DNA sequence: AATACTATAGGTAGTTATCCCGATATGAGG
DNA sequence: CCTCATATCGGGATAACTACCTATAGTATT
């Protein structure tokens, strides 16, 4: 697990330095980038924290980076800062999932508070994702056939029915079922259903 | 089920009339109010649609109404319109769950688009809530004892174990269990677990 | 007082699931 | 060629669940 980092992307070097100094003053690791491309190249998809992002930048604007990130399923919380913003811009940024939009000049504490909130939110997301990946990993251990049987089980079918559906002997279904339970480590049908629902399987 | 209505709250009579005219021009029912209090008095909690809300108003601001509504668990989507807004105000409104924040003078189509999105979103929420209430209603038909047994069942306990936990005969647990299944209309344990998870019961 | 619902409990039979033992066939990899 | 994983199938025993019947006692409603 990587440590949490505050990423700063701003084309203004002085602003980058100022932000770096501010954020490091509260003992948070900071990485600064002067362009969106620079950030995208050096960003480690496994790291977490938050992104402090200038709106107006050459070659790639803050908006474009935000979209790029959301398309790449990178869910790093974004805090926009800008000196030239207007309301439609702020609204659009928020609609696109930014967690804050701060205008320059800003109050230092205001930004730090926002960063803390963002990091907290990202940590929650990370914990949640980790749990999900873990559960998904458990399910991925099943063979295709076992998964097939498992899905039929959690849809409420009995072994006998599953046997008819899959055109195999009920005895084989029993074997698969037992394998599913031992491999997933679930000790009851209820737990198995819960597991599958958690990872997003729906039996509509 | 009530029809969908666009609620307009603005202290400026002329603006109210103008909005009413605009929205009715696309055949959507409108109700206008000149104060937040007026709206709160006449609002039917069962109705749905969306709320077009002026920010700056006497006695109760748009913000205050938004907070009031979120505290009353009224989840009507809110579109703010204002002539005197700034970015922090817009950001705060969006953070509080507004779905749009539009500045006067606004483009008519822009507002209508936003209203349509809001209504769509509310309809989804309504459908979702309706489903949930229905499922909750099913569970509410259970007697306290049956609910107790049901929870133990979906936590993966066997009848025998439940009997020990509740200090009653396994036979009685069987009876409760059968009652739970017939009352909920679920035909398998898997379906029962799914039902309880849908209404938010977790066995952590 | 009669009725209905709830919680309790037993019997008996049948179905289903679980767990132990076994077996065969197939294909991938060393 | 041997091994391992996978998928298939069987017998037999035990445990668990389901479905039908019965019954009693308390509480609430009418």
Separation CA B45–CA B74 (nearest Å): 7
Q: Are residues A19 and A117 in the same domain?
A: yes
B192 domain residue, yes or no: yes
In this complex, which of B94, B154, B155 lies closest to A91 when CB atoms are compared?
Answer: B94
Q: Please identify, among A70, A104, A127, the residue that sits at the C-terminal boundary of a domain.
A: A127
Q: Are residues B25 and B120 in the same domain?
A: yes
Q: Are residues B94 and B186 in the same domain?
A: no
pTM: 0.86
B134 domain residue, yes or no: no
Look at residue A3 in the predicted model and tell me its pLDDT.
81
Q: Do A190 and B91 touch (CB under 8 A)?
A: no
Q: How many percent of chain B have pLDDT more than 90?
A: 92
Kindly report the nearest CA distance between residue A186 and chain B, in angstroms.
10
Q: Are residues A158 and A69 in the same domain?
A: no
Q: Please identify, among A82, A99, A127, the residue that sits at the C-terminal boundary of a domain.
A: A127
A133 domain residue, yes or no: no
Minimum-distance nucleotide, CA of A149 to C1': D7
B36 domain residue, yes or no: yes
Whether the per-residue pLDDT at B203 is higher than 70: the answer is no
Mutation to test the B interface, candidates A84, A158, A190, A196, most B Cβ within 10 Å = A190
Q: Do A154 and B189 touch (CB under 8 A)?
A: no
pLDDT band at A94 (very low <50, low <70, confident <90, very high): very high
B203 domain residue, yes or no: no
Distance B182 CA to D22 C1' (A): 20
Q: Please identify, among A127, A151, A171, the residue that sits at the C-terminal boundary of a domain.
A: A127
Whether the per-residue pLDDT at A203 is higher than 70: the answer is no
pLDDT band at B202 (very low <50, low <70, confident <90, very high): low
Q: Are residues A67 and A40 in the same domain?
A: yes
Whether the per-residue pLDDT at A204 is higher than 60: the answer is no
Separation CA A157–CA B31 (nearest Å): 51
* Number of Cα atoms under 13 Å in the Cβ half of residue B9: 28
Whether the per-residue pLDDT at A202 is higher than 70: the answer is no
Look at residue B111 in the predicted model and tell me its pLDDT.
97
What integer is the mean pLDDT of B172-194? 96
What integer is the mean pLDDT of A67-72? 94
Q: How many percent of chain A have pLDDT more than 70?
A: 98
Distance A160 CA to D11 C1' (A): 18
> According to the 3-state scheme, what is the secondary structure of B2-33?
CCEEEEEECCCHHHHHHHHHHHHCCCCCEEEE
CB B2 within 8 A of CB B44: yes
CATH number at residue A159: 1.10.10.10
Whether the per-residue pLDDT at A113 is higher than 70: the answer is yes
B160 domain residue, yes or no: yes
Q: Are residues B149 and B111 in the same domain?
A: no
Q: Are residues B28 and B74 in the same domain?
A: yes
Separation CA B95–CA A93 (nearest Å): 11
Residues 6+ apart with CB under 8 A from A64: A36
Q: What is the pLDDT of residues A154-173, one digit of tens each?
A: 999 999 999 999 999 999 99
Which residue has tokens 């899959």?
A: A166
Does residue A204 belong to the interface with chain B, where contact is any CB pair within 8 Å?
Answer: no
Q: Are residues B67 and B115 in the same domain?
A: yes
Distance A165 CA to D3 C1' (A): 33
B132 domain residue, yes or no: no
Q: Are residues B69 and B41 in the same domain?
A: yes
Is strand D within 7 Å of residue A138 (CB)?
no
Q: How many percent of chain A have pLDDT more than 90?
A: 92
How many residues in chain A? 204
pLDDT, chain B, mean: 94
Residues in chain A within 8 Å Cβ distance of B94:
90-91, 94-95
For A190, the domain range is 141-198
Q: Are residues A76 and A19 in the same domain?
A: yes
Residues 6+ apart with CB under 8 A from B25: none
Q: What is the pLDDT of residues A180-194, one digit of tens each?
A: 999 999 999 999 999
Look at residue A73 in the predicted model and tell me its pLDDT.
87
Q: Which residues pair with A53 in a beta bridge?
A: A9, A80
Separation CA B103–CA B114 (nearest Å): 13
- The full DSSP string for A129-145 is HHHHHHHHHHHHTS-HH
Q: Are residues A62 and A160 in the same domain?
A: no
Q: Are residues A33 and A117 in the same domain?
A: yes
Q: What is the pLDDT of residues B80-136, one digit of tens each?
A: 999 989 999 999 999 999 999 999 999 999 999 999 999 999 999 999 999 999 999
CB B48 within 8 A of CB B4: yes
Distance A150 CA to D3 C1' (A): 28
A92 domain residue, yes or no: yes
CATH number at residue B49: 3.40.50.2300
What integer is the mean pLDDT of A100-119? 96
Look at residue A201 in the predicted model and tell me its pLDDT.
79
Number of domains in chain B: 2
Whether the per-residue pLDDT at B47 is higher than 90: the answer is no
Q: What is the pLDDT of residues A125-137, one digit of tens each?
A: 999 999 999 999 9
Reading the block at residue B201, the tokens are: 């019961």
């Amino acid at each position: 697990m990587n440590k949490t980092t505050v990423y700063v992307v701003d084309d203004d070097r002085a602003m980058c330095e100022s932000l770096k100094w501010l954020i490091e003053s509260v003992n948070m690791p900071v990485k600064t980038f002067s362009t969106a491309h620079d950030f995208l190249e050096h960003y480690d998809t496994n790291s977490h924290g938050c992104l402090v992002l200038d709106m107006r930048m050459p070659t790639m604007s803050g908006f474009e980076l935000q979209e790029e990130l959301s398309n790449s399923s990178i869910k790093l919380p974004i805090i926009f800062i800008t000196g030239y913003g207007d309301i439609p811009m702020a609204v659009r940024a928020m609609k696109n999932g930014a967690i804050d939009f701060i205008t320059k000049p800003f109050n230092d504490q205001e930004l730090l508070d926002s960063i803390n909130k963002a990091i907290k939110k990202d940590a929650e997301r990370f914990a949640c994702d980790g749990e999900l990946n873990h559960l998904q990993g458990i399910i991925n251990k099943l063979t295709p056939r076992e998964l097939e049987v498992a899905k039929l089980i959690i849809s409420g079918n009995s072994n006998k029915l599953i046997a008819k559906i899959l055109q195999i002997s009920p005895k084989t279904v029993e074997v698969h079922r037992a394998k599913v339970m031992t491999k997933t480590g679930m000790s009851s049908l209820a737990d198995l259903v819960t597991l599958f629902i958690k990872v997003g399987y729906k039996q509509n």
